[in-house]
Amino acid sequence: MDFLRPNTFAEALALKAEQPDAVPIAGGTDVMVELNFDHRRPPALLDLTRIAELREWSAVDGKLRVGSGVPYARIIEQLGGQLPGLAMASRTVGSPQIRNRGTVGGNLGAASPAGDTHPVLLAGDAVIEAASARGTRMIPAAEFYLGVKRNALEPDELIAAVHLNAAPGPEQFAKVGTRNAMVIAVCSFAIALHPAEKRVGAAVGSAAPTPRHATAAEEFLAGELDWDAPKPLLDSVKRRFGELVAEAASPIDDVRGSAAYRKHALAVLARRTLGWAWQDHLGKETRECA
Amino acid sequence: MSLTPAELTSSVTGGIGTSPQRPDGNLKVRGEFAYASDLWHEDMIWGSTLRSPHPYARIVSIDLTEALEVPGVYAVLTHEDVPGANLYGLEHKDQPVLAVDVVRYQGEAVALVGADHPETATRAMKRIKVEYEVLEPVVDMETAADDTPLHPGGNLVRHVPIRRGGQAPTADVVVTGRYEVGMQDQAFLGPESGLAVPAEDGGVDLYIATQWLHVDQGQVASALGMPLDKVRLTLSGVGGAFGGREDLSMQVHACMLALHTRKPVKMVYNREESFYGHVHRHPAVLHYEHGATNDGKLVYVKARIFLDGGAYASSTGAVVANAATLGVGPYEVDNVTIDCYGVYTNNPPCGAMRGFGAVQAGFAYESQMDKLADALGMDPVDVRIANAMTEGSVMPTGQVVDSAAPVAQLLKLVKDKPLPPVSTTLDLRSMPGGVSNTTHGEGVVRGIGYAVGIKNVCFSEGYDDYSTARVRVQVINGELVALAHTAACEVGQGLVTIMQQIVRTELGVQRVTILPMDTSIGNGGSTSASRQTYVTGGAVKAACAAVRDKLAKLAGGRDLSEVDLVELLGDDVVDETVEWRHRATEPLDPETGQGNAHVQYGFAAHRAVVDVDVELGLVKVVELDCAQDVGNALNPQAVLGQIQGGSAQGLGLAVMEEIQTSGGKVRNPSFTDYLIPTVLDMPPMSIDVLELADPNAPYGVRGVGEPPTISSTPAIVAAIRAATGLALTRVPVRPEHITGT
């Protein structure tokens, strides 16, 4: 197996163009597990850890560009204020050691339906910056996940960065696992309020072949929420929202949980996170009026 | 006059009753300790194992041609290459070293490859062509005995009946229940590993992580067709065991490859292979009926218990005896009818794991005690205390418990502890679901549960259970030093520390070296059954006494405490080896299950406090307090560590740990999906340690390692029941069991 070690992103893109079957590796928290268990034997690994620019993030006019190699630990530490949903999801990834190495770029590259950051990226309308020697293109998160462990990247493309708006409103992420830490998602859910646009982003993880938007649930809330004169949510609204989120999922029975449980749990998570996010929104409104 | 230990130890620190630092502690904390997987030998090659993908299949043919053509391959071996007997086993020789014409479980070893690199071995393995005729597996433990026979003689490995008192009793109140225990794994962190080095005398030296060197040696020699003295084992660094290393894994395989290639051969299982490479805890189905008077006194217990031994017997027979003889728990019951069956199936082989049969029974009888309390309208602790065994109580086997059995006291201790406050701050780490942010308090209900358990200590049923210890004293650089040598395996529990402490106390020597454990000395017995401090500790103590006697002779009748031992010894060396046995036990009567089968009993009680998110079915164990009698805490810190570890393993079984199988196939052979508790799952514990000495045991010790594993699980499940009002008859409790989805 070849181990390719580019020093610059341009060099990495050139190598990827030459060897499209080279597997990019950053933190190695997913790729190395597959190698160690002999589940995967790529002809080459493309080591991205020498490329400083991938580990940088920047903010311009409330628009954030997060390099694909920024580890979860730094997202939690440095971006919690601007990207609370992404930070919450990052906090649920593995152990502290894994969060020191693992990256959002890796989550996207692997495109596992159980990846923790995917629902947040969907709910927050993230855009993935894919680069190749041919140029750069921007892929909305909603178009990025194609199937179980399949994404929209071309063989010669690498993930350069993820673009997100600094959260325009409250965000929440919740995930169910059968252990209180260091656990892969049985199912997960993210919600992001977009008050200026009077709409809500909602997405489910680990409950369908790909992470996906709960579109009907989003539309339902857009019609129900009174953004101009916010008041506490009716229980019936939260419940209906939960039902619609559960309906958006098409989970399977597996060793981690039953399909029925996943739907049930998603409804509970959706209800609760909506309550928390709306409560935050109400709090903010009240403070701003006072 | 004879010398007492106290007179010798006045100037020595780190004797018994203290908690000196363990000799391997710093290395382990720094990550510098050499585990078996770190073994290395110049010129060594790598062995790997081709395993059956099927739970039950006939082997039609094996074609090695293409595998042998892979460059870098030194050997590809099958059952035809097993030099000696191709059957081994702890109690019954029923397991082939390499499968002959049939495979009986997924993961059964079929062929071996020795190659210059693990990758080469993997490539070669993929080129071995095995043609299987897949057969319908036997997977139901309750019907297995009447199903397709998987071994000559059928599928019943052992039936232990217990008949005591009246067999047709009646009672005011009767509760019945059917309980299930899932297949738990030992989940030790250091995977199976060993290094076999061919020796010039035609024999082999094996460096191995194991729990019992001599029983390995016997089995390896038999399979290699060699005399015992040609097969020499040395213990390598062991990363946990918990019963899972009592059976052979690659011991014979590595030696076969080494002898065949005349090269040192290293074998290391990866995590996935490890799940196939060792036995697990027996899954169980337990049917119970308890009858009691209206005031809560037990009149009778009836039970039918099934234990799934999987494809090979391993220690199923002894596990069956434990589940049967300990099947009513630490309670006085005059009328007992128990039938306990261990069977063969095509599920993964099961054998020893911490608690060994007492865990499965414990979940059932403690669930029954709660059910009884509920039926009687009694407090669950009161109903237990009303029936609690004491010293002098009679076991269902007729054996009189002849040392402390403070069951009521242990229960009172955990009950009287202050309860934890309900959390008022929103710290996700204290919530069910933890930092996954599933609740900010919504749906969370608190529950409290109690349990107490009983475990036999040491080997039972007439087994000749002994240990051998050698102790030497001499003067080096003007200092009196001691050396202790046994074959008793240090697997992480701290036996090396205990041995040092005993020698310091008995001989008054500060500097004590522990020799590597190997088969150049006599049998140390198994590191299991909570027995090593008792038996090997007893042997080291006895060897020290022999050394003292020698010194006294050298002193010619002078009082040793007043003799300068450095001067007395000069260049002499005193070196004594002693074989030490605990008091004998008896076999069980095969018809009635009566007999003095056990050496000693250990007891622990737990109170669990849990917060359950009843809408999501997630559980946070808030508190898991324990009280246990340890006879005499030779190393108080190690005792607490054992109680914490045992309780954590019980917590794992209560809420998450299970090897899930389907049609005999393992569905979750990884730490991604076989979950063990993290620091956010296991709460800090408050522990009460009683020291009620057992007059029959050295220093009065009572085995520590297993009792806490038994009561932890049912206490937690009782607490979840209290929070949810659900029956919860199966462990581990999964979220689906709570939400009903």
* CATH code, domain with B690: 3.30.365.10
State how many domains chain A has: 2
Which secondary-structure segment (H or E) carries B307?
strand B298-308
Gap between the Cα atoms of A148 and A169, Å rounded: 31
Residues with Cβ within 8 Å of residue B607, at least 6 apart in sequence: B414, B415, B417, B448, B449, B450, B623, B624, B625, B715
Q: What percentage of chain B has pLDDT greater than the value 90?
A: 96
Contact between A179 and B270 using a beta-carbon 8 Å cutoff: no
Tell whether the torsion through CA atoms of B708, B714, B720 and B723 is positive or negative.
Answer: negative
| Whether residue B709 sits in one domain with residue B576 | no
Per 3-state DSSP, what percentage of chain A is helix, strand, and coil (rounded to 5)?
Answer: 40, 25, 35
| Whether residue A224 sits in one domain with residue A127 | no
Contact between B440 and A179 using a beta-carbon 8 Å cutoff: no
| Whether residue A131 sits in one domain with residue A24 | yes
Outline where DSSP puts E strands in B634-731.
Answer: 661-662, 665-666, 687-690, 730-731
| Whether residue B686 sits in one domain with residue B543 | no
Token pair for residue A176? 């169910």
The domain boundary residue, chosen from B581, B599, B614 = B581
| Whether residue B209 sits in one domain with residue B90 | yes
Q: Residue A121's Cα: distance from chain center in Å?
A: 4
Angle separating helix axes B407-415 and B380-387, nearest 10 degrees = 160
Residue A290 confidence class, pLDDT cut points 50, 70, 90: very low
- Between the alpha carbon of residue B606 and those of residues B372, B383, B403, B653, B717, the distances in Å are 19, 15, 21, 15, 11
Residue A230 confidence class, pLDDT cut points 50, 70, 90: confident
| Residue B204 located in a structural domain | yes
Asked if residues B183 and B659 have their Cβ atoms less than 8 Å apart, the reply is: yes
Q: Which of B272, B617, B620 is closest, CB to CB, to A180? A: B620
Q: What confidence tens digit (pLDDT) does each residue in B594-617 have? A: 999 999 999 999 999 999 999 999
Residue A217 confidence class, pLDDT cut points 50, 70, 90: very high
CB burial readout B283-293, b (16+ within 10 A) else e: bbbbbbbbbbe
The residue to which tokens 């609204």 are assigned: A237
The domain boundary residue, chosen from A103, A138, A165 = A165
The domain boundary residue, chosen from A138, A165, A192 = A165
Mean pLDDT of chain A: 96
Helix, strand, or coil here: A184? Answer: coil
CB burial readout A76-110, b (16+ within 10 A) else e: beebeebbbbbbbbbbbbbeeebbebbbbbbbbbe
| Residue A183 located in a structural domain | yes
| Whether residue B570 sits in one domain with residue B505 | yes
Tell whether the torsion through CA atoms of A112, A117, A123 and A124 is positive or negative.
Answer: negative
| Whether residue B433 sits in one domain with residue B415 | yes
Q: What confidence tens digit (pLDDT) does each residue in B658-670 have? A: 999 999 999 999 9
The β-bridge partners of B174 are: B291
Give contacts of A257 with chain B, Cβ < 8 Å. Answer: 734-736
| Whether residue A20 sits in one domain with residue A121 | yes
- For the cut 90, the answer to whether the pLDDT of residue B388 exceeds it is yes
| Whether residue A285 sits in one domain with residue A178 | yes
| Residue B163 located in a structural domain | no
| Whether residue B200 sits in one domain with residue B66 | yes
Tell whether the torsion through CA atoms of B633, B636, B638 and B640 is positive or negative.
Answer: positive
Distance from CA of A10 to the nearest CA of B (A): 33
User: Residue A29: which of A53, A1, A55, A49 has the closest Cα?
Assistant: A49
Q: Does B673 touch chain A (CB under 8 A)?
A: yes
Give contacts of B679 with chain A, Cβ < 8 Å. Answer: 181
Which secondary-structure segment (H or E) carries B27?
helix B25-30
- Between the alpha carbon of residue A249 and those of residues A113, A263, B122, B721, the distances in Å are 12, 7, 39, 31
| Whether residue B367 sits in one domain with residue B254 | no
| Whether residue A190 sits in one domain with residue A119 | no
| Residue B151 located in a structural domain | no
Token pair for residue B294? 């209206």
Gap between the Cα atoms of B48 and B191, Å rounded: 14
| Residue B171 located in a structural domain | no
| Residue A47 located in a structural domain | no
**Which residue type, as a one-letter code, is found at position B157?**
V
| Whether residue B41 sits in one domain with residue B29 | no
| Whether residue A141 sits in one domain with residue A22 | yes
State how many domains chain B has: 3
Give contacts of A261 with chain B, Cβ < 8 Å. Answer: 617, 735-736, 739, 741
Angle separating helix axes B316-325 and B358-376, nearest 10 degrees = 20
- Per the structure, the complete domain to which residue A100 belongs is given by 2-41+52-165
Residue B10 confidence class, pLDDT cut points 50, 70, 90: low
| Whether residue B518 sits in one domain with residue B391 | no
| Whether residue A192 sits in one domain with residue A135 | no
| Residue A180 located in a structural domain | yes
Residue A175 confidence class, pLDDT cut points 50, 70, 90: very high
The pLDDT assigned to B411 comes to: 98
Confidence (pTM): 0.97
| Whether residue A200 sits in one domain with residue A147 | no
Gap between the Cα atoms of B655 and B652, Å rounded: 6
| Residue A46 located in a structural domain | no
Chain A to chain B Cβ contacts (< 8 Å): 103
Gap between the Cα atoms of A241 and B112, Å rounded: 57
| Whether residue B218 sits in one domain with residue B95 | yes
| Whether residue A124 sits in one domain with residue A30 | yes
The pLDDT assigned to A287 comes to: 59
Contact between A272 and B681 using a beta-carbon 8 Å cutoff: no
**Which runs of consecutive H residues, i.e. helices, occur in B555-625?**
565-569
The domain boundary residue, chosen from B581, B608, B633 = B581
Q: What confidence tens digit (pLDDT) does each residue in A185-214 have? A: 999 999 999 999 999 999 999 999 999 999
| Residue B143 located in a structural domain | no
Other beta carbons less than 10 A from residue B125's beta carbon: 21
The domain boundary residue, chosen from A119, A150, A165 = A165
Residue B2 confidence class, pLDDT cut points 50, 70, 90: very low
User: Residue B256: which of B35, B67, B80 has the closest Cα?
Assistant: B80
Average pLDDT, integer, range A53-63? 95
The pLDDT assigned to A283 comes to: 87
| Residue B184 located in a structural domain | no
| Whether residue A95 sits in one domain with residue A31 | yes
Strands B661-662 and B665-666 turn out to be antiparallel
ipTM summary value = 0.96
Contact between B435 and A92 using a beta-carbon 8 Å cutoff: yes
Q: Which of A178, A180, A184 is closest, CB to CB, to B734? A: A178
Tell whether the torsion through CA atoms of B715, B719, B725 and B731 is positive or negative.
Answer: negative
Q: What confidence tens digit (pLDDT) does each residue in B396-413 have? A: 999 999 999 999 999 999
| Whether residue A189 sits in one domain with residue A156 | no
- Per the structure, the complete domain to which residue B338 belongs is given by 284-460+589-739
Distance from CA of A256 to the nearest CA of B (A): 7
Q: What is the CATH number of the domain that holds B55?
A: 3.90.1170.50
| Whether residue B219 sits in one domain with residue B79 | yes
Gap between the Cα atoms of B631 and B626, Å rounded: 16
Gap between the Cα atoms of B612 and B618, Å rounded: 6
Residue B8 confidence class, pLDDT cut points 50, 70, 90: low
Outline where DSSP puts E strands in B541-617.
Answer: 574-581, 600-613
Q: In angstroms, how far is the first alpha carbon of chain A from the final one?
A: 64
| Residue A254 located in a structural domain | yes
| Whether residue A260 sits in one domain with residue A232 | yes
Q: In what side-by-side order are the strands of the sheet with B574-581?
A: B511-514, B479-486, B466-476, B574-581
Asked if residues B320 and B597 have their Cβ atoms less than 8 Å apart, the reply is: no
| Whether residue B92 sits in one domain with residue B26 | no
Residue B7 confidence class, pLDDT cut points 50, 70, 90: low
| Residue B170 located in a structural domain | no
Asked if residues B231 and B220 have their Cβ atoms less than 8 Å apart, the reply is: yes
Q: Residue B385's Cα: distance from chain center in Å?
A: 29
Q: What is the CATH number of the domain that holds A59?
A: 3.30.465.10
Contact between A183 and B675 using a beta-carbon 8 Å cutoff: yes
Q: Which of A172, A174, A255 is closest, CB to CB, to B668? A: A255
The pLDDT assigned to A123 comes to: 98
